[in-house]
């Protein structure tokens, strides 16, 4: 198989889960993570996928776009339509690659190998769909009785991801608009109706689509069998990360430091509330879990996070760790400042505040202070710096 060029992927997640007894199957937890998070990770594991668009119900766009596991993958979230074909069209419009993959959000077990095979086939032939042979005997049922047995030779069940060249999809939509009366169950059916040949690629029997409640049990068992779940394997693994931050004093009063508010001390300048201690802790946790850095999670140019409380930032970081299967175990912080004076009482209050934010016992957190030996900007009293070492373990 040749290596396909970069493709964009659309994950359709705008359904109503009508066969899940009212539960949202895409939010169902598999080893502590939403099912849709597993699907997103699986698609992103394919080397050819450069960008992912998540299509969800209009009312869920903002909530989904704010999820840490979505932001970590830089996925774009757009609103879908009343039917699958309308949602697919909305997702494709948000892409730009010549070849586009479309995948069901309820298929968390897709492999990178299948994604690459479909992308390569679509690039070569124009359109491709993964199929698995029908192995069960098929019966046509009339009411409460079996009508006839259906010959299964030549029959196959279609899976996703399905892929096609963008120009072929657009041509098909000109003949059959997504908002039109004709309804298609998948992209292959649309392309067939438009006279576009669709290549059949061997699918994967384990590429399960979660439809019923009992499918969640099967999906979790398959994840565990692959070693991608949180059962056994690397449980108990320990990692250590280092974080640092520093900010100069500003002109306003109200210093945020270590989860405390010191109202009679000048505030530190920064995009958020400037709490260098919590910033250093958050950066250390992200580093330990190999999840990037605080600047990527909260970009300085993002107006939505201007003035945000650092405690809220640390809460988001802890959520990212949980999504990735990690939890904080211990934190050691050193604050370097000539002012204000940080005695034992304040340091203990910072320790307790950090412990509460991370849901740790106070004995797992240490906060120390240094004057900076009167060197550097913190030693001269122009600002405050902090460093942190964090230990995380597998959940």
User: What is the 3 state secondary structure string of the chain?
Assistant: CCCCCCEEEEEEECCCCCCCCCCCHHHCEECCEEHHHHHHHHHHCCCCEEEEEEEECHHHHHHHHCCHHHHHCCCEEEECCCCHHHHHHHHHHCCCCCEEEEEECCCCCCCHHHHHHHHHHHHHHCEEEEEEECCCCEEEEECCEEEEEECCCCCEEECCCEEEEHHHHHHHHHHCCCCCCCCCCCHHHHHHHCCCCCEEEECCCCCCCCCCHHHHHHHHHHHHHHCCCCCCCCCCCEEEEEEEEEEEEEEEEEEEECCEEEEEEEEECCCCCCCHHHHHHHHHHHHHCCCCCHHHHCCCCCHHHCCCCHHHHHHHHHHHHHHCCEEEEEEEEEEECCCCCCCHHHHHHHHHHHHHHHCCCHHHEEEEEECHHHCHHHHCCCEEEEEEEEEEEEC
Which residues does 333 contact at the CB level (< 8 Å), separation at least 6? Answer: 258, 277, 280, 281, 350, 354, 365, 366, 367, 368, 386, 387, 388
Beta bridge partners of 238: 393
Cα–Cα distance for residue pair 50/76, rounded to 1 Å = 12
pLDDT in the model for residue 234: 45
Just give the CATH number of 238-394.
3.30.1330.50
Of 283, 324, 2, 135, whose CA–CA distance to 275 is shortest?
Answer: 283
- Reading the chain (395 residues) residue by residue, the pLDDT tens digits are 555 668 999 999 987 655 555 568 899 988 778 999 999 999 999 999 999 999 999 999 999 999 999 998 999 999 999 999 999 999 999 999 999 999 999 999 999 999 999 999 999 999 999 999 988 888 888 888 888 999 888 899 999 999 999 999 999 999 999 999 999 999 999 999 999 999 999 999 899 999 988 888 888 878 776 765 543 344 446 788 999 988 899 888 989 999 999 988 998 988 788 899 999 999 999 999 888 888 888 887 777 777 789 999 999 999 989 888 888 989 999 998 888 888 889 999 999 999 999 999 888 899 998 865 656 666 667 888 999 999 988 76
pLDDT in the model for residue 352: 94
In the chain, CATH 3.30.1330.50 sits at 238-394
Which residues does 130 contact at the CB level (< 8 Å), separation at least 6? Answer: 114, 117, 118, 158, 159, 160, 161, 162, 201, 202, 203, 204, 207
Just give the CATH number of 7-226.
3.90.550.10
Cα–Cα distance for residue pair 187/100, rounded to 1 Å = 11
Longest Cα–Cα distance of the chain, Å, equals 91
Cα–Cα distance for residue pair 104/110, rounded to 1 Å = 10
- Is the previous residue joined to 161 through a cis bond, with omega within 30 degrees of 0? yes
Burial class of residue 366 (count of CB atoms within 10 Å of its CB; 0-12, 13-18, 19+): middle
In the chain, CATH 3.90.550.10 sits at 7-226
Of 274, 258, 373, whose CA–CA distance to 266 is shortest?
Answer: 274
Quick one: tokens of 59? 């009312």
Cα–Cα distance for residue pair 192/175, rounded to 1 Å = 12
Cα–Cα distance for residue pair 276/282, rounded to 1 Å = 10
Ramachandran bin of 148, using left for φ above 0, alpha for ψ from -120 to 50, beta for the remaining angles? beta
Query: Strand 383-394 vs strand 326-336: parallel, antiparallel, or unpaired?
Result: antiparallel
pLDDT in the model for residue 338: 84
> With contact defined as beta carbons under 8 Å apart, do 388 and 244 qualify?
yes
pLDDT in the model for residue 374: 58
CB atoms within 10 A of CB 134: 14
Quick one: tokens of 46? 């394919």
Quick one: tokens of 147? 């009508």
């Amino acid at each position: 198989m040749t290596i396909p060029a970069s493709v964009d992927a659309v994950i359709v997640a705008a359904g109503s889960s009508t066969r899940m007894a009212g539960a949202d199957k895409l939010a169902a937890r598999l080893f502590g993570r939403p099912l849709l998070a597993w699907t997103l990770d699986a698609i992103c594991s394919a080397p050819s996928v450069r960008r992912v668009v998540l299509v969800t119900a209009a009312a869920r766009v903002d909530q989904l776009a704010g999820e840490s596991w979505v932001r970590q993958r830089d996925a774009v979230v757009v609103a879908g339509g009343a039917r699958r074909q309308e949602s697919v069209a909305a997702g494709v419009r948000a892409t730009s690659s010549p070849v586009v993959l479309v995948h069901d959000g309820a298929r968390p077990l897709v492999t990178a190998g299948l994604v690459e095979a479909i992308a390569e086939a679509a690039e070569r032939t124009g359109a491709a769909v993964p199929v698995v042979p029908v192995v069960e005997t098929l019966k046509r049922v009339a009411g409460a009785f079996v009508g006839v047995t259906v010959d299964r030779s030549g029959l196959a069940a279609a899976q996703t991801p399905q892929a096609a060249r963008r120009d072929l999809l657009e041509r098909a939509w000109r003949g059959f608009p997504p908002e039109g009366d004709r309804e298609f169950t998948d992209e292959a059916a649309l392309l067939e109706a438009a006279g576009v040949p669709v290549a059949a690629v061997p699918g994967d029997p384990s590429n399960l689509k979660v439809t019923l409640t009992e499918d969640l049990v099967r999906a979790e068992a398959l994840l565990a069998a692959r070693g991608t779940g949180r059962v056994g394997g690397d449980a108990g693994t320990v990692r250590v990360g280092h974080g640092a931050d520093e900010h100069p004093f500003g002109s306003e009063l109200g210093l945020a430091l270590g989860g405390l508010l010191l109202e009679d001390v000048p505030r530190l300048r920064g995009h958020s509330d400037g709490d260098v201690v919590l910033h250093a802790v958050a950066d250390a946790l992200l580093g330990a879990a190999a999840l990037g850095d605080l600047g990527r999670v909260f970009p300085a140019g993002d107006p939505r996070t201007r003035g945000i409380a650092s405690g809220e930032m640390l809460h988001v970081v802890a959520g990212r760790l949980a999504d990735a299967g990690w939890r904080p175990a211990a934190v050691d912080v050193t604050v370097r400042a000539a002012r204000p004076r940080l005695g034992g009482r304040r340091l203990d209050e910072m320790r307790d505040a950090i412990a509460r934010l991370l849901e740790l016992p106070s004995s797992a957190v240490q906060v120390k202070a240094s004057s900076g030996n009167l060197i550097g900007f913190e030693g001269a009293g122009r600002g405050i710096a902090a460093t942190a070492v964090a230990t995380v373990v597998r959940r």
